[in-house]
Structure 1
Amino acid sequence: MAPSAVEVEPITVPDVATLKLQAVSHSGPYKELAATKYDPDAEAGLKGHDAAKYPDYLPTWDRTEKYPPLQPFEHYEHGQDADPSYPNLLPEGAVSVTDLTPTIGTEVRGIQLSTLSAAGKDELARFVAERKVVAFRDQDFADLALDKALDFGSYFGRHHIHPTSGAPPGYPELHVVHRGAGDTSSVDQFFANRTSSVAWHSDVSYEQQPPGTTFLYILDKPSTGGDTLFVDAVEAYRRLSPLFRERLHGLRATHSAVEQANGSLARGGIKRREPVVNEHPVIRTHPTTGEKAIYVNPQFTRDIVGLKKEESDVLLKFLYDHLGYGADFQARVKWEERTVVVWDNRVTQHSALVDWKDGQRRHLARITPQAERPFETPFEG
């Protein structure tokens, strides 16, 4: 669990806007920000469960981490440089490629992401933009030094530092997802006032420049359960009638970090930055593929600019239901050991599933490169 809520004075930290967030590589000064709290039960294991396989990735919550607002930066989208035949990412005869559904989701075996050349990384960005989410099996990401994993991710954009999540000490760019071994009570509490764990969202869509090509890799997993659902927001857009699509173009929606920050503090968590609210187009365009996608989600979107509350609520509910119920343009990724899942956060939404209750550990790490500010191109009919 996160530490109890105790207010402390912020300390002086290096200027992350100019040093850390350029994301060229992981540099030294941030190792001085020592964690003030960690979960000892997670490290040791509980009730006959094994200790964490990757203790260096256990989450910490450091109340001294106080960062200034994120500054705009110029993002370069490497997928635009890719060879669409993917000779470096998917060399003929060397890899196994299996599509999970016609429009979204692919499983790849036989290539090691950590060894990709720059050309291979370009192809990775384009391939993920086209297939929306790709599960790469038998990867060595979890065994890399944390610096090396971050260096790999920095090719795809400026590292995002999550304002509230746990992170390994000294590595705030690594977003840790962890439910500890022996933890059954929090699952029961989770469902005490909920009937489902499905919570569709696009990661930190409230940022001025939300993430693009995103990496999530498994560290510990339950024997079954804990899968992740993804929805293709491009296909969801295409399913709408031309008249309805045309009406959505030109609309903008607010995305808010306020509720997430307040929720973190209420649970005894942290707030590394002051929460922001930003406006984005309801329909955004991908810079490489030119595809248009619905870009609102129930976790962070609050209203449509210029509409009255009742009007906004009705339109947003329709779009949320359309995405959430669209099983014919969704994919379910089952986690295996040594899996790295890569998705394009601009054109997908996802939800973790809390469906295991036996106290097994679920532990993952996310690398979250930011991308361009969402933009919209004209309606094309």
Structure 2
Amino acid sequence: MAPVRYTQGPRGLYAGSKLETTAKGWVVVAPESASKVNKEVHAYLPTWNKDEHYEPYKFHEYHDPALRADPSFPNLLANAETKNISPKLGTEIKGVQLSQLSDAGRDELALLVHQRGVLVFRDQDFVSKGPQHFVDYVKYFGNPHIHPTSGRPQEIANIHVVLSGDTKEDPYNARTNLVGFHSDVSYELQPPGISFLTVTNLPAGGGGDTVFIDSAEAYNRLSPIFREKLEGLKAIHSAVNQANGALSKGSVVRRHPVENAHPIVRTTPLGKKVLFVNRGFTRRIEGLKVEESDAILDFLFDHVAKAHDLQIRANWEKNTVVVFDNRIVNHSAIVDFDTTESRLIARASAQAERPIGDLKDLNKPAESHLFEGPEYLGNKLEDLKLA
């Protein structure tokens, strides 16, 4: 059988930055490219090490801090200035320093982000406090997730870092559209819930917003009959393509890829119904034939991607931190910035509950399913020529 050929994505999206390998085997951003990123955030520059490996995640109970929160938000919003980005999704907040919140305030933060989906906080000190503080803060909301393939700060495994730009290549030389809506690592047995996202280096010319979709309202928009048909169905979410993409670029896979079945209609611990599918990682519906599954999933993917009245854009400014609930929103980067410049974004996320359709199944133990099929390049690298 002829070898499968894999191609790299556009450099404007995944970075054209030059890399080099240290004496200890770490792949790091070369000085020439690092010089294009603000010196004060060099601690967040991405690194990779092919000797870094982790066991697959195992089930653990999750207890949502939002369930402890005071719904009047006395510790979070007492002195805050708030502005809704849209009536149902997204709120911009000023006058709150996240790092100074008490435990009660952080419980209220968990509740508010569940209610609003996306919270945009201005004038935060997260970046200046460094990567370790970033991860320590996220630990309050759950176990900080380690991404299986992305760049990470050299000293901290639990931060996902994406450096994009730094290239003269046209990012649209092979594609007319680079929008890629997804729920982060939804293939995990327990995907992240509360996530903290910040841009540490902004292109001077502007652009590079992040678009979010309200997956709860996407579910509500469906007809009662269609919602009823979706209840009880499960879809397979797969890490294989992401792992193969990393291997095809000569990058790392820190954890063997998994495929897990999650309900298409997810119920959060607070009882919110959510359409839990995304084009990035959802592959097929269990129990349906290929054509049947494709027809339903394609409709649902288009439903959320094309409905601009379900979406907001989070506009980045220096020292902005976006908190979002990965269970109830999809998101995508927007590559509309000058990709000769560099954009460095960092995310730390807390694992949440195993996705369930019914609250009676909350914290019911389950096992993650490793993918062992021939499609995974990691099983046959010696037989392939990758480009």
Indicate the TM-score class for this superposition, using the shorter chain for normalisation: 0.7 to 0.9
Q: CA offsets per residue over residues 262-291 of structure 1, 9 Å max, x none? A: 011101211001100000000001112x11
Matched, 1:164 2:154: no
Distance verdict in 2 for CA 1:52–1:266, change over 3 Å = farther
Checking the alignment, whether the CA contact within 8 Å between 1:163 and 1:271 is kept in structure 2 is yes
- Are residue 324 (structure 1) and residue 311 (structure 2) matched? no
CA distance in 2, matches of 1:298, 1:319: 9
> What residue number does 1:313 align with?
294
| Counterpart selection for 2:264 from 278, 282, 286 | 282
- Kindly tell me the number of residue pairs found equivalent between the two proteins: 340
State the shift of 1:183 in Å: 2.2
Q: TM-score, normalised by structure 2?
A: 0.85
Which SS does the other structure have where 2:99 is aligned? helix
Contact map agreement 1:3 1:269 (CA 8 A) in 2: no
Q: Distance in 1 between matches of 2:87 and 2:130?
A: 36
| 1:231 corresponds to 2:213 | yes
**In structure 2, distance between residues paired with 1:268 and 1:51:** 27
Determine which of 130, 135, 138 is the counterpart of 1:153.
Answer: 138
Is the aligned partner of 1:36 residue 2:21?
Answer: no
Matched, 1:88 2:79: no
Question: What amino acid is aligned across from residue 280 of structure 2 in structure 1?
Answer: Q
Give the partner amino acid of 2:164. Answer: R
Give the CA RMSD over aligned residues.
Answer: 1.8
SS state at 2:277 partner: coil
Please tell me whether residue 242 in structure 1 is matched to residue 242 in structure 2.
Answer: no
Secondary structure in 2 aligned to 1:331?
strand
Deviation at 1:2, TM superposition (A): 8.5
User: What is the DSSP-based 3-state SS (H/G/I as helix, E as strand, rest coil) of the residue aligned with 2:200?
Assistant: strand
Q: Could you tell me which of 102, 125, 146 is aligned with 2:110?
A: 125
Normalising by structure 1, we get a TM-score of 0.86
Q: In the alignment, residue 240 of structure 2 is paired with which amino acid?
A: V
| % identical equivalent positions | 47
Query: In structure 2, do the counterparts of structure 1 residues 375 and 2 end up closer, same or farther at CA, with 3 Å as the change threshold?
Result: farther
Aligned residue type for 1:36: W
What pairs with 1:1-381 in structure 2 (closer than 5 Å)? 36-40=26-30, 41-45=32-36, 51-91=38-78, 94-180=79-165, 182-185=166-169, 188=170, 190-223=171-204, 224-288=206-270, 290-377=271-358
> Match of 2:208, SS?
coil
Q: Label 1:2 to 1:359 Cα distance change in 2 as closer, same or farther (>3 A).
A: closer
CA contact (8 A) 1:184 1:357 kept: no
Q: Deviations over 1:49-80 (max 9, x none)?
A: x6544111100011110111111111110000
Query: Residues of 2 paired with 1:335 and 1:245: CA distance?
Result: 35
Distance across 1 between alignment mates of 2:18 and 2:157:
17
AA in 2 matched with 1:183 = T
User: Does the Cα contact within 8 Å between 1:257 and 1:300 map onto a contact in 2?
Assistant: yes
CA distance in 1, matches of 2:329, 2:27: 34
Q: CA deviation at 1:220?
A: 0.8
Q: What amino acid is aligned across from residue 224 of structure 2 in structure 1? A: P
8 Å CA contact retained: 2:38, 2:201: no
Q: What amino acid maps onto 1:167 in structure 2?
A: R
CA distance in 2, matches of 1:355, 1:61: 27
Which secondary structure state, in structure 2, belongs to the residue aligned with residue 303 of structure 1?
strand
Cα gap change, 1:349 to 1:43, in 2 (>3 Å):
same
The SS at the match of 1:67 is: coil
Distance 1:360 1:53, change over 3 A: farther
- Unaligned runs of 5+ residues in structure 1 are 7-33
1:200 and 1:297 in contact (8 A); partners too: yes
Q: Is the 2:75–2:104 Cα contact (8 Å) retained in structure 1? A: yes
In structure 2, distance between residues paired with 1:51 and 1:79: 36
More moved, 354-363 vs 117-126: 354-363
Query: How much does 1:35 deviate?
Result: 5.9
**Structure 2: how far apart are the matches of 1:102 and 1:342?**
17
Cα separation, partners in 2 of 1:267 and 1:3, compared to 1, 3 Å: farther
Closer, same or farther: CA 3–66 of 1 in aligned 2, 3 Å? farther
**Partner SS state of residue 57, structure 2:** coil
Shift of 1:144: 0.8
For the residues of structure 2 that align with 1:218 and 1:357, how far apart are their CA atoms? 15
